Amino acid sequence: MRDKILYGMGVVAILLLARDIYMIANFPPEAAQGAIFKIIFFHVPAAWTAMVAAGSALVCSILFLVKKDFKYDAIAVASTEVGLAFLAVNLVTGSIWGHVIWGIWWTWDVRLTSALVCWLLYAGYLMLRHAIEEPTQRATFAAVFSIFAFLDVPIVYFSIRLFRTQHPGPVFLSSNGSFPPDWGMVLLWNWVALLMLGIVITLVRLGHEETQREIDYVRRMAHAL
């Protein structure tokens, strides 16, 4: 049943993405930036998906520390890994946009730097998990680290509101925004599609964690015999 839901969601996400790509291709180039502006339709939804993944990891890490249930640890690691992939998409597409518009691949402004630090923190979370053998200790340390890593997420989000950055100011959820409503709807649908894709990948990854736990259990049984 779970597999059928996963496949169904995956197919819907891919169909939505195909429709969105067709619509984005048919939009006219933006007056000042030209066609490269269209990268925003993947750059921003990838960042939002990564942010949802980070939020999910935070909630599950707190729940693990409170309830000591490994189910929450598994969800936290699965969503962190998927969020890291989406944040990588966000960083790389942003860098390509910057190369065309600013003439540089990278600049150390608050938004870009805090996003890179966020990526490094969550990559550190995954490395920390590899470094600890004992499951309870690994899950506890990882949960604490995940809560600490999440502190960077609001900094990333608010950096363009609180600081003067080279990164463009907010165009969504802001009074200064000038994003056309029909373009905004496509961007929103693209986010829904990427989020669905993210959920499908997270659930598949969650299955791996469950299998890994099963392997650990069988190994312990084998040692006991």
Partner 1 sequence: MHLLSRLPLLFAQVSPEDIQREFVRLQRNFQFLSYGFAVAWIILTVYVLMMVGRERRLKREISSLKAMLEERQKK
Contacts with partner 1 by CB under 8 A lie at 29, 33-36, 38-39, 42-43, 46, 82, 85, 88-89, 92-93, 96-97, 99-100, 197, 201, 204-205, 207-208, 211-212, 214-215, 218-219, 221-222, 225
Compute the distance between CA of residue 186 and CA of residue 3 in angstroms, rounded to an integer.
29
Q: In the bound complex, what is the minimum distance in angstroms from residue 66's beta carbon to partner 1?
A: 29
Nearer CB in complex with partner 1: 63/88: 88
Distances (CA, A) of 172 to 81, 168, 181: 27, 11, 10
Q: In the bound complex, what is the minimum distance in angstroms from residue 169's beta carbon to partner 1?
A: 21
Q: Is 29 left (phi over 0), alpha (psi -120 to 50) or beta?
A: beta
Q: In the bound complex, what is the minimum distance in angstroms from residue 144's beta carbon to partner 1?
A: 26
Compute the distance between CA of residue 205 and CA of residue 77 in angstroms, rounded to an integer.
9
Nearer CB in complex with partner 1: 15/92: 92
Q: In the bound complex, what is the minimum distance in angstroms from residue 203's beta carbon to partner 1?
A: 11
Nearer CB in complex with partner 1: 135/154: 135
Compute the distance between CA of residue 121 and CA of residue 188 in angstroms, rounded to an integer.
28
Element spanning 223, H or E:
helix 181-224
